Structure 1
Amino acid sequence: MSENIQIAQSYAKAVHELSTAAGSADAWSRQLALLAEVASNDDMVRYLSDVSRPSEERTKGFLAVVSSELDAAGVNLVRLMGENGRLSLMPAVAEQYEALRAQAEERVTATVVSAHPLSENEINLINAALKKRLNRSVDLHTEIDSSLIGGAIIRAGDWVIDGSMRGGIEKLAAQLSR
């Protein structure tokens, strides 16, 4: 699995360099998202893993589904990955590309999971605090999880703040059980 991640990182890095030079990051994000979605489709997974078909045929079949939505560079990426039998790695390439893009743009995606809907003011305060703390622009998403009882959990990459009542109760229970 680690080898596949390294391979996906190589493709993503090449695409990122290409998109940066051409100023086409948004277009590449859209294309890679589409390619990842198609490559993740159950029928396409079966089709791509059917080794009784030559890789050229599998690549042509994949391109038949996506080529109308791709520019020339996107078609070339599909052909290259198809020649190397790597089309199934497209979701990982898309994920790695987005990580590289976010890093280059000094942007992070954060999620706030709260027990109750947050007000616009609360969202703005959390966004400003995260921007200051992480020294990056923040794409903030919110989710509701009533099992938290109260408070919130904030996740940004590997960084997690658990300010939920459920989290506090679990910490207290762990301390009492020692």
Structure 2
Amino acid sequence: MLNLQLVRKYAKAIFEIAQEEGKLVEYGDELKAAREGIESVPQAIEFFSNPQVDPKLKKELLQKCFKKELSKDVYHFLLLLVDKHRFVLFPAIVDEYRALSNEARGILIADVTTATAASKKQQKAIADKLEQITGKKVELRLHEDKSLIGGVVVKIGDRRIDGSVAGRLETMKRKLLANE
């Protein structure tokens, strides 16, 4: 089980550095790229998560993979995670950093689920409508679920808007059963 307090502590630390440097987006992109690079190799995940692997070896691998690719602060942040034996928290730290960065920049993340892949035009229309409703900039995280049949389900935080065919059928079913 992840220690959420530690995740928040480390994410806030790199967030504050990024904010001081005026590089919220850049650091977020670098953290995301490092995470994707590590997660793209299953053996790397096991390697960095294994407490029996010498931290020196982990640092050498980070140096080979990322020293020239990342800014000094982000690279040293990864080394710090190795030193403190917290690298297993890295994916969650990246997610928390993104949440902090989005909040600071006034951006909401909307999980948008459709039955089939949404076209760029549809994505823009959804984003524009959500921005109009919320008054904030909205980034879409797209998902597909064929069981929706058609339409769209949007989730922003704890708010859920179900405009799917499956959702409407379920609502109709409940109303019909209630009138029996």
Shorter-normalised TM range: 0.7 to 0.9
The worse-fitting range, judged by mean Cα deviation, of 129-138 and 80-89 is: 129-138
Q: Which runs of 5+ in 1 are unaligned?
A: none
TM-score by length of structure 1 reads 0.82
1:107 alignment partner in structure 2: 107
Report the 3-state secondary structure (helix = DSSP H, G, I; strand = E; otherwise coil) of the residue aligned with 1:110. strand
1:172 alignment partner in structure 2: 172
Closer/same/farther in 2, CA of residues 123 and 62 from structure 1, 3 Å limit: closer
1:20 alignment partner in structure 2: 19
The worse-fitting range, judged by mean Cα deviation, of 147-156 and 108-117 is: 108-117
Distance 1:88 1:131 in 2: 35
Closer/same/farther in 2, CA of residues 95 and 141 from structure 1, 3 Å limit: closer
1:45 alignment partner in structure 2: 45
The 5 A counterparts of 1:27-176 are: 27-40=26-39, 41-115=41-115, 117=118, 120=121, 125-140=125-140, 145-174=145-174, 176=177
How many residue pairs match? The answer is 176
Q: Which amino acid aligns with 1:155?
A: K
* Matched-pair contact (CA < 8 Å) for 2:151–2:163: yes
Closer/same/farther in 2, CA of residues 48 and 142 from structure 1, 3 Å limit: closer
Q: Which runs of 5+ in 2 are unaligned?
A: none
Closer/same/farther in 2, CA of residues 32 and 119 from structure 1, 3 Å limit: closer
Closer/same/farther in 2, CA of residues 13 and 149 from structure 1, 3 Å limit: same
Overall identity of the aligned pairs, in %: 25
TM-score by length of structure 2 reads 0.82
Q: 1:96: how far off?
A: 0.6
Q: Which amino acid aligns with 2:157?
A: G
Closer/same/farther in 2, CA of residues 143 and 91 from structure 1, 3 Å limit: closer
The worse-fitting range, judged by mean Cα deviation, of 128-137 and 160-169 is: 128-137
Q: What are the Cα deviations for residues 7-26 of structure 1, in whole angstroms up to 9, with x where unaligned? A: 12111111111111111112
Closer/same/farther in 2, CA of residues 101 and 167 from structure 1, 3 Å limit: same
Distance 2:137 2:51 in 1: 45
